[in-house]
Structure 1
Amino acid sequence: MNTRTAFRTVAVAEAISWALLMSAMFCKYVTESEPFGLREGGVPVAGMTHGVVFLAYVGMCLVARRSFGWSHKTTLVALAASIPPFFTYVFEVVADRKGLLAQADAPVSSR
């Protein structure tokens, strides 16, 4: 797997994990239901999943910075995109269009 594919995969997964967490929180706090019989509405599971994927995204931002030669500004924007829901996907689309993910053959473990 190359860096571009790994970054894009993790960025989309981070956005999906946001959706899962927000859905679980909606069920718990708004509908006060327990979907699928999950206590706490699945918030602990969705929260842990989102946390793990969030950390993977931060790590992939650092790998992408090194692989693609991102500036400090681009790296900070990529990292900041992880805070609002779904912005990792937006950043990934914009970065791809601007050619910031252009080195399709950069291996994930390159130094």
Structure 2
Amino acid sequence: MIKAFQIISILEGISLLLILFVTMPLKYIFEMGMPNQIIGMAHGVLFLVYVVMAIVFKTELNWNFKTLLIVLACSIIPFGTFWMDKKYLAGKA
């Protein structure tokens, strides 16, 4: 199950980076909104799964509330999920 959370966290991080650095410039500079809609929907689903899995793993990995907040905050910071994976999940799978 931890391996699934690692995969979701990496995919969520990649989708955030795609939105910020690929689809948003396409949308606002080149007026191509479709990539943003597709990646945005995927990112939304991945984000929700990430949040639910983080809450589930709070008890399984004995995280305190502060750690849970850090893990959740990592989902909205570019490259945050990659750091979170290394700090809190590496070696646990």
**Range of TM-score over shorter length:** 0.7 to 0.9
Maintained 8 Å contact 1:54/1:82: yes
The equivalent of 2:24 in structure 1 is 25
TM normalised by structure 1 equals: 0.74
Alignment correspondent of 1:70: 63
Match of 1:48, SS state, is helix
- Tell me the distance in 2 between the aligned counterparts of 1:6 and 1:18: 18
1:96 maps to what in 2? 89
Task: Give 1:53's aligned residue.
Answer: 46
CA separation in 2, counterparts of 1:64 and 1:85?
Answer: 22
Structure 1 runs (4+) deviating above 3 angstroms are: none
Q: Distance in 1 between matches of 2:89 and 2:76?
A: 20
Structure with the higher helix share, 1 or 2 = 2
Does the 8 A contact of 1:14 with 1:86 survive in 2? no
Match of 2:36 in 1: 43
Q: Which runs of 5+ in 1 are unaligned?
A: 35-39, 105-111
In 1, Cα distance between equivalents of 2:26 and 2:42: 17
Output the TM-score relative to the length of structure 2: 0.86
Q: Is contact 2:6–2:89 with CA below 8 Å preserved after alignment?
A: no
Deviations 1:63-111 (A, max 9, x none): 11121111111111001111112201111111135xxx63x4xxxxxxx
Paired AA for residue 12 in structure 2: E
* Aligned mates of 1:59, 1:5 — CA distance in 2: 15
Identity %: 35
Q: Determine the C-alpha separation between the residues in 2 that align with 1:92 and 1:13.
A: 11
Structure 1 vs Structure 2 CA RMSD: 1.6
Kept in 2: contact 1:12–1:88 (CA 8 A):
yes
